[in-house]
Amino acid sequence: MDSQLENKLYERFPHLYRERSAPLESSRMGWGFQCDAGWYKIIYEMSKEIQRLAVSGEFAPAITEVRKNKDGTLYVEARNLTPPIADIITNAHEKSRLTCEFCSYQPAFQRSGTSSEGAKIACGRCCVKTRTSPHPARRKGSKRPRRAPDTIVVKR
Ligand SMILES: [Zn+2]
C-alpha cells in the first residue's frame, strides 16, 4: 500500500499500530501494510471498530502484522485479543474474500496467480490489467485497420 494511505491509518489509530516502530523480530508491523490499496477501507473500518472496543494502556490490542494470505485473502495478526476483537478481524478477512485488492470493487473473486505470490482477489477489470498475456494486445492490433475507413473524411 502506498505510504500516504499507510500514514493515514497510523495517524488515525496510533495506539493500535504502535508496534510499527518495534523491531521486526517482535512485530512484523514494521513492514507496513503488505497488500494493495483496494483493501484500505476494510482495514480502516476494522481499525475503527477495534478502537471502539479497546481498553486503553499497555493491554490494549496491538496489530502486529497485515498482509495478503497465500489464498489471496487479508491476513491480520494482533496481540491482546479479546473474543469480540477477534470477531472484527475475522469479519475483515471475510470481506476481503469478495473485495478487489486493487480497486475495492465488489464482488471480486479469487484468481489463481501465475507468480510465486500466490492467489489474488481481483475484479475482472483489474485481472485483465495485471495479466501479461499477449492475447488482448493482438486483438487491439487487428481492430485498428478495420476502424480506419470510418475516419476518412471526403471533402468536396
Ligand atoms: Zn479491481
Expressed in angstroms and rounded, the spacing between residue 140 Cα and the centre of ligand 1 is 21
Phi first, then psi, for residue 62 (nearest 5°) are -135, 130
Q: Where does 1-57 have alpha helices with state H?
A: 3-12, 40-53
> Per the domain annotation, does 118 fall within a domain?
no
pLDDT value, residue 83 = 97
| pTM listed for this prediction | 0.81
- pLDDT over 70 at 27, yes or no: yes
pLDDT value, residue 128 = 82
Expressed in angstroms and rounded, the spacing between residue 32 Cα and the centre of ligand 1 is 22
- pLDDT over 90 at 154, yes or no: no
The number of beta carbons lying within 10 Å of the beta carbon of residue 86 is 13
> Per the domain annotation, does 49 fall within a domain?
yes
Q: Give one word for 17, left, alpha or beta, with left for phi > 0 and alpha for psi -120 to 50.
A: alpha
> Per the domain annotation, does 114 fall within a domain?
no
> Per the domain annotation, does 154 fall within a domain?
no
Could you give the number of structural domains in the chain?
1
> Per the domain annotation, does 42 fall within a domain?
yes
> Per the domain annotation, does 129 fall within a domain?
no
> Per the domain annotation, does 117 fall within a domain?
no
Range with lowest mean pLDDT among 27-36, 72-81, 113-122, 139-148: 139-148
pLDDT value, residue 143 = 47
Expressed in angstroms and rounded, the spacing between residue 119 Cα and the centre of ligand 1 is 14
> Per the domain annotation, does 144 fall within a domain?
no
Range with lowest mean pLDDT among 6-15, 61-70, 125-134: 125-134
Task: Give the mean pLDDT of 66-91.
Answer: 96
- pLDDT over 70 at 144, yes or no: no
Q: Which protein residues have their CB within 5 A of the ion that is ligand 1? A: 100, 102-103, 105, 123, 126
Per-residue pLDDT reduced to its tens digit, 41-54: 999 999 999 999 99
Domain of 71 in residue numbering reads as: 3-99
C-alpha cell of 92?
A: 475483515
Expressed in angstroms and rounded, the spacing between residue 75 Cα and the centre of ligand 1 is 19
- pLDDT over 50 at 124, yes or no: yes
Expressed in angstroms and rounded, the spacing between residue 62 Cα and the centre of ligand 1 is 30
